[in-house]
Homo-oligomer: A and B are copies of this chain.
Amino acid sequence: MRWSSAFLPVLKESPADAQIVSHKLMLRAGLVRQTAAGIYAWLPVGWRVLRKIEQIVREEQDRAGAQELLMPTMQSAELWRESGRYDAYGPEMLRIRDRHEREMLFGPTNEEMITALFRDDVSSYRDLPRTLYHIQWKFRDEVRPRFGVMRGREFLMKDAYSFDLDEAGARQSYYTQLLAYLRTFQRLGIRAVPMKAASGPIGGDLSHEFIVLAPTGESEVFYDAAFEGFDWNQADVAYGDAEGLTRLFEQVSGTYAATDETHDAARWSQVPAEKQRTGRGIEVGHIFYFGDKYSKAMGLKVSGPDGRPLTPMMGSYGIGVSRLVGAIIEASHDDSGIVWPEAVAPWTVGLVTMRADDGPSSAAADDLYAKLNAVGVDTLYDDRDERGGVKLGSMDLLGLPWQVIVGPRGIANGVVELKNRRTGEREELSAEAVLNRLTA
């Protein structure tokens, strides 16, 4: 993409109403614009990031055997009356009447709808287990939306739902999602620590929050440094391997990690002092086993192997996809701007001409841009007629992993500059060598 023809509005100043750094940077770098309180339009740069995150979430769900579908945003109140939640849910539910005065709502979550869909089409134990998910916009009418996409009203969430014949099966589905989550967050380039969450209505040990560490986080967290060393994508566990998944769960459960809500001083004191990590964190995922809460209330039954009806046991598994954009920035930025993990960067490379009016360096940059495109390196080419310093500042703000800086002096010497955004390291190299480096 050439910046000169892009819709990529960056701001020099931080908008006054943004309180936290991710919100400021998302506005400044042109990722989002607020269109109503707590509701955002995703401009091209933000949308690129959001789609990359969404795609990684999707791939890891698919790899774990979950099946994607898409439920609509608008739901009928009737459906929520079946579970008893229509009246129980507070003012965060956006309640709507259509032209025929039918009561509707903008879905804040989908337990009722997925249970109804499953109930209407599944009748036999042979059709279980299944885990179904979708990635869809939700609405929660926060009384005081703030912190940009971190606590917005319309937000993108991946929510998965598992259906099993019994609790043992449901535990396996839970462990499967646990591993999928660990792999998802690792691929996104962030450290999200799974923390035992306050038990829900069911009790038990099957509820974890995934917390990204960031100084602006909403809760205090305590965890064992062992979590910093785990490599979940190398973990020797296959989906479907019940023993392996159980071991994985025990490894996670056996390694201390808790929020202030679930913190246990006695267990904490057993973590060696040099391995105690504390800080603040942002919740980006939550997995949850709730047994027959919805299946029972809504009459979901399947016939068992012996012909007798069984009530499936369920769990739900959420990832805050749009919130992750903010959370990643909270966890990965510096004074100059965003520092994107490579997997979610809107482009991998930012190519900058220091002097757009200098023929030889523009020609060299054009040529390099064509070559980067030809080999499939995602490049934003800042070919604008702006001062070099302004362009470098914008590129730092945008946070692409690599910058390639082309200036008249370098070109005269046959070199361009390659800058690593995270480390700040700069090297002078031939254009050829830069290409090789970026495609290695």
Contacts and interface: CB of A to CB of B under 8 A. Distances in A.
Contact of A74 (B33, B79, B106): B106
A44 B65 contact: no
A69 B43 contact: yes
A397 B7 CA distance: 44
Nearest to A137: B73
Interface in A1-59: 4-7, 9, 30, 33, 35-37, 39-44, 46-47, 50
A154 interface: yes
Contacts of A69: 7, 41-44, 46-47
- Counting contact residues on chain A (CB < 8 A from B), the size range is 35 or more
A187 interface: no
A91 interface: yes
Given A35-B116, A73-B154, A67 B91 contact: no
A116 B73 CA distance: 25
A111 interface: no
A320 B106 CA distance: 22
A274 interface: no
A33 B79 contact: no
A127 B386 CA distance: 13
A237 interface: no
Contacts of A94: 96, 98-99
B120 A33 contact: yes
Contacts of A332: none
A141 interface: yes
Given A67-B44, A68-B44, A70-B50, A35 B113 contact: yes
Interface in A80-107: 91-92, 94, 96, 98-99, 102, 104, 106
B117 A74 contact: no
A419 interface: no
A130 interface: yes
A265 interface: no
A122 interface: yes
Contacts of A132: 7, 44
Contacts of A50: 70
A375 interface: no
A196 interface: no
A139 interface: yes
A276 interface: no
Interface string A132-155: 100001010101000000000110
A255 interface: no
A72 interface: yes
Nearest to A9: B121
Given A67-B7, A72-B154, A121-B9, A41 B141 contact: no
A130 B44 CA distance: 12
Nearest to A127: B7
A141 B99 contact: yes
A75 interface: yes
A429 interface: no
A307 B41 CA distance: 30
Given A7-B132, A113-B41, A91 B96 contact: no
A198 interface: no
B65 A5 contact: yes
A186 interface: no
Contacts of A98: 94, 141
Contacts of A139: 74
Interface of A: 4-7, 9, 30, 33, 35-37, 39-44, 46-47, 50, 65, 67-76, 79, 91-92, 94, 96, 98-99, 102, 104, 106, 113, 116-117, 120-122, 126-127, 130, 132, 137, 139, 141, 143, 153-154
Query: Can you list the 3 inter-chain pairs with the closest CB atoms, starting with the nearest?
Result: A9-B121, A36-B76, A42-B70
8 contacts: A4-B126, A7-B121, A9-B121, A35-B75, A36-B76, A42-B71, A43-B117, A44-B68
Given A7-B121, A30-B121, A41-B113, 9 more contacts: A5-B65, A7-B67, A7-B69, A35-B117, A41-B72, A41-B117, A72-B137, A73-B137, A74-B139
